[in-house]
Amino acid sequence: MTLLEDLQFRGLVNQMTDEEGLTELLEKESVTLYCGFDPTGDSLHIGHLLTILMLRRFQLAGHKPLALVGGATGLIGDPSGKKAERTLNEQGVVEEFSNKIKGQLSRFLDFGGEDGAKLVNNYDWIGSMSVIDFLRDVGKNFGLNYMLAKDSVESRIASGISFTEFSYMILQSYDFYQLFKEENCKLQIGGSDQWGNITAGLELIRKMSGQEDDERAKAFGFTIPLVTKSDGTKFGKTEGGAIWLDPEKTSPYEFYQFLINTEDQDVVKFLKYFTFLSKEEIEALEVEVQERPHERAAQKRLAEELTKFVHGEAALKQAEKISTALFGGGDLKQLTAAEVLQGFKDVPSHTVNDSEIGLVDLLVEAGISPSKRQAREDIKNGAVYINGDRCQEMDKVMEHEDKIDGQFTIIRRGKKKFYLVRYE
């Protein structure tokens, strides 16, 4: 399949300008394309991954991606898809976020050699622009009625939109023009909510190039679907918040578990969206979902492919090891302290100073059992497990062999109630 045919198979084509012209261009030459990432936080999240993977797909097909970090537009705020005005961050904060996002993007694209991907920051050309230059040279190309008709603006008129956010479309359009002029960038990609901004950029290129009828001045826009689950909710959101690409914010184990818990009705779509598996491999996994859903082969493959892509092979193995220890009958005592912290990040924890505390006292002190009487009853009934092993010793004292890496003990009461004991 050609690149566009593969994207069609994966359901990754939402809208494009001049499909015939773009198809011909992609087949004829290596095309420079870009996608922007505004630094509104200190990490990208899994929702950004679809556009990152799109840049990667184009790169693997022989094209050159530009990953734009919005050091300038991040100071303004994009109204697209938002119901209210963003809180504006200080320049120093945006610069810090920009540097972190640059580091993340450099993990996913090949920046080696002359034909490799390139990181750019729109603060480099917008930051030094004067208000007069902005209004005379760029703003004059945008009619008010044209801007008001864009969905990103029209949807905010009733609730209110400031001139600051209203101007965002012009700034993003100027990004496209600047990259078109300096990098010969002929294609911008983005989520479906960016269609208005992308087409405004195409209009600016047409006007500012001064060669409206010249095929060399032609650029293209391409959007991908916003990722939603079968129940209509947004992909990448959990009760605990977003699934981040930064392992300090979302551990590889949490990342892996989020994916392996994908619903059957969503998993094939997400395999198409987020992996580089072939059509034949995906169709085989689709059969697995239909005929043997209990084996969850498709979910395991999705979790493996994406965790390895984002966090690397070692982190994938670690996430699998923790998952096996917790849910697959593995040995909790084989976990390292770092793996315990990943796997039991959200369970109740208690710190003790007495390294040889009795089990009954520990159960009460840690709030696992409400009283010594109940603690003894729990132990007698076989409801207490130490690092996965049932313990019915009434006079049990916590010893060195009960401590994982000398730092933790995992206690389970009943079938599902886990507690983490830390030792000082």
> Is the CA virtual torsion 149, 155, 157, 163 positive or negative?
negative
Catalytic annotation present for 40: yes
Catalytic annotation present for 234: yes
Pick the catalytic residue: 6, 15, 23, 40? 40
Pick the catalytic residue: 59, 73, 104, 172? 172
The DSSP annotation for 139-208 comes to GGG--HHHHHTSHHHHHHHTT---HHHHTHHHHHHHHHHHHHHHH-EEEEEEEGGGHHHHHHHHHHHHHH
Residue 234: is it exposed, middle or buried by C-beta count within 10 angstroms (0-12/13-18/19+)?
A: exposed
Catalytic annotation present for 82: yes
Residue 168 in marked binding region: yes
Pick the catalytic residue: 57, 100, 237, 422? 237
Catalytic annotation present for 48: yes
Pick the catalytic residue: 10, 48, 269, 296? 48
Pick the catalytic residue: 23, 42, 45, 57? 45
Catalytic annotation present for 87: no
Catalytic annotation present for 403: no
Other C-beta atoms within 10 Å of 396: how many?
16
Catalytic annotation present for 2: no
Quick check: 81 and 133 in contact, CB under 8 A? no
Residue 142: is it exposed, middle or buried by C-beta count within 10 angstroms (0-12/13-18/19+)?
A: middle
Pick the catalytic residue: 136, 140, 181, 234? 234
Three-state DSSP class for residue 237: strand
Question: In terms of Cα–Cα distance, which of 175, 222, 170, 164 is closest to 200?
Answer: 170
Catalytic annotation present for 32: no
Pick the catalytic residue: 8, 211, 228, 238? 238
Helix H or strand E encompassing 60? helix 49-60
Alpha carbon distance 202, 22 (integer Å): 14
As beta bridge partners, residue 221 has 188
The DSSP annotation for 81-116 comes to T-SSPPPPPPHHHHHHHHHHHHHHHHHHS---STTS
Residue 123 in marked binding region: no
Residue type, 204: L
Catalytic annotation present for 294: no
Pick the catalytic residue: 6, 23, 57, 86? 86
Catalytic annotation present for 193: yes
Pick the catalytic residue: 82, 345, 376, 422? 82
In the sheet that 220-224 helps form, which strands lie side by side, from edge to edge?
15-16, 220-224, 185-191, 32-37, 64-69, 118-121
Pick the catalytic residue: 193, 246, 264, 361? 193
Which residues are within 8 A (CB) of 237 and not within 5 positions of it... i.e. 6 or more apart? Answer: 243
Q: Which residues are annotated as a binding site for ATP?
A: 237
Binding residues for L-tyrosine: 34, 168, 172
Binding-site members are 34, 168, 172, 237
Residue numbers annotated as active site: 40, 45, 48, 82, 86, 172, 193, 234, 237-238
